[in-house]
Structure 1
Amino acid sequence: MITSKVHAIWGRALNRDDFSDDDNFFILGGNSLTMTRIQREIHAEIGVAVPMDLLFRKSTVKEISEHIGAALSAD
């Protein structure tokens, strides 16, 4: 469920849906401004604040979803 939400957020921000959960955000055409929008949407829709540096280091839907899942289960 988390992965599908993150995938949808990325799809809206990147204006595309032809990517897998293992594709790198930057190879898909993402940039820092788009990443800022994704950060806000993740917090608004899922309720987890993901630091910007983490979004840059974990640049796939799968990696970000795993981080969010761990954060939610720690609460």
Structure 2
Amino acid sequence: MISKTIHDIWSRELQLDNFSDTDDFFSLGGHSLIMARIQDAIIAEYGIEVPMDELFRKPTVASISAHLESLERTA
């Protein structure tokens, strides 16, 4: 379920409808300002602040979703 929510956030912020959960954020036209909005949306949705450098190291919906799932399991 996390991946669906993250995909929806990316879709809204990147203004794209069709992309894969394994597509690279930067290849889709993403940049730091959009990533900051995504970070804010993740905080609003999950109450978890993923550091910006972590978001840049995990530039796919799949990798960010897996990271959030791992944080939920350890919480």
Q: Give the TM-score, by structure 1 length.
A: 0.97
Residues 6-37 of structure 1 deviation map (CA, whole Å, 9 limit, x = unaligned): 00000000011210000000000000000000
Please name the residue that 1:19 is paired with. Answer: 19
2:48 counterpart of 1:48: yes
- Identity, in percent, stands at 53
Q: Which runs of 5+ in 2 are unaligned?
A: none
How far the C-alpha of 1:60 sits from its partner, in A, is 0.1
Q: Which contiguous aligned blocks of 4+ residues in structure 1 show a shift greater than 4 angstroms?
A: none
Q: Give the TM-score, by structure 2 length.
A: 0.97
What is the number of residues matched between the two proteins?
Answer: 75
Distance 2:47 2:72 in 1: 9
**Residue identity matched to 2:27:** I
Q: Residue 48 of structure 1 contacts residue 72 of structure 1 at CA under 8 Å; is this kept in 2?
A: no
Please name the residue that 2:28 is paired with. Answer: 28
2:30 counterpart of 1:8: no
Residues 19-71 of structure 1 deviation map (CA, whole Å, 9 limit, x = unaligned): 00000000000000000000000110122211000100100000000000000
RMSD of Structure 2 on Structure 1 (CA): 0.6
Distance 2:23 2:46 in 1: 21
**Residue identity matched to 1:18:** N
